[in-house]
Amino acid sequence: MRLSTTSAATDRRRRRSVGALLVTELICALLLVGRPQAPPPAPVVAAPASFTTPTAASTTETLNDGRTVHLVGLGGARTAPLLARIAAQMNDAAQAVTAFWGPGWPRDVVIVAAGSDAEFGTLGGGGLDIAATTTAERIMFAPGAAAMSDESLRIVLRHELFHFASRSATAADAPRWLTEGVADYVGRAPTPRPPDAAQLAQIPSDADLSAAGPAGSLAYDRAWWFSRFVAESDGTQTLRALYVRACGPGHPDVATAVRDTLGADLPTVLASWRHWMSG
């Protein structure tokens, strides 16, 4: 199961550590004896008129910073418990995003819990291995996210909330490895560098980030480690400045953005990253 997703319109993020948590719906076609049948059509899911005035029950919470969070359930037995767990973590998640990004992000947040996998696929654009998707309008969680541990849910919520907060400052063609790495930096707690850490000092490609299973998970780790390297070497505000320069509308190429914000060319920065990972 991918913890979340990220792209210009809908986020696509992979994390195999909770791969067994999404419950796959069993869809069976009716077979008549002696008469082969075509597969049944995919279920049609109608979108609610508005996620803030849904067909299912929802609640509204006011955070400590004054932001309003609309928690929208679209039906299903798991949505209410999931939204309750999200609500319990929202103040900490918002604080983490603001600590990195600053207070200048939307004051209204819409978080939707889909009632079925089909609904999540239609309205959220996510598959069975995706836990959450984010657009400029809302964050949507899949039903299977209800089975995540509190720590995994914390990571997903902070990761997606950062994407939501930074959406207006992120170009459609922003380098994905940096948008994902920074979102992970906001979402994930620091951990010790592994023995083979130097091997992780490679910028992942979009194909790496889209890979299934361990390869995709490793790609996200690599993006995260780069963001950690910049933050711990030059400060979190420098990492933020790199994000704005490299990912904002009208951004230059990555090499130029790195030189402008880190004061060194990209090969030098990558060499420093490998040295830092080895230490």
Same domain, 106 and 197: no
Same domain, 121 and 255: no
CA angle 208, 212, 216 (to 5 degrees): 40
Same domain, 245 and 186: yes
Residues of the chain with pLDDT > 70, as a percent, come to 79
Predicted local distance difference test score (pLDDT) of residue 90: 98
The pLDDT of residue 30 is above 50 = no
Same domain, 159 and 36: yes
Same domain, 129 and 266: no
Residue ending a domain, among 169, 194, 209, is: 169
Q: What is the average pLDDT value for the chain, to the nearest integer? A: 83
Around Cβ 270, how many Cβ atoms within 10 Å? 17
Same domain, 131 and 105: yes
Sign of the alpha-carbon dihedral angle for 164, 168, 170, 173: positive
Q: How many CA atoms lie within 13 A of 122 on its CB side?
A: 14
The CATH number for 50's domain is 3.40.30
Residue 147 amino acid letter = A
| Tens-digit pLDDT profile for residues 90-103 | 999 999 999 999 99
More confident residue, 76 or 268: 268
Same domain, 51 and 147: yes
Residue 112 tokens read as: 């939707």
Q: What is the DSSP string of 75-122?
A: SSTTHHHHHHHHHHHHHHHHHHHHHHH-S-S-SEEEEEE-SSHHHIII
Banded pLDDT at 198 (limits 50, 70, 90): confident
Same domain, 107 and 90: yes
Residue ending a domain, among 145, 169, 193, is: 169
Residue ending a domain, among 121, 139, 169, is: 169
Number of domains composing the chain? 2
Same domain, 136 and 246: no
Predicted local distance difference test score (pLDDT) of residue 48: 52
Q: Which residues of 67-87 are buried (b: 16+ CB within 10 A; e: fewer)?
A: bebbbbbbbbebbbebbebbe
What is the C-alpha to C-alpha distance for residues 277 and 178, in angstroms, rounded to an integer? 18
Give mean pLDDT, residues 38-52. 45
* 4 class by beta-carbon count within 10 Å (0-12 exposed, 13-18 middle, 19+ buried): buried
Residue 235 tokens read as: 């400060």
Predicted local distance difference test score (pLDDT) of residue 195: 86
Banded pLDDT at 4 (limits 50, 70, 90): low
Where residue 125 falls (left for φ over 0; alpha for ψ -120 to 50; beta otherwise) is left
Predicted local distance difference test score (pLDDT) of residue 151: 96
Same domain, 164 and 91: yes
Domain carrying residue 144 = 1-169
Same domain, 2 and 120: yes
Give mean pLDDT, residues 55-74. 89
Q: pTM (2 decimals)?
A: 0.83
End-to-end Cα, the chain, rounded Å: 32
Predicted local distance difference test score (pLDDT) of residue 50: 54
Same domain, 32 and 104: yes
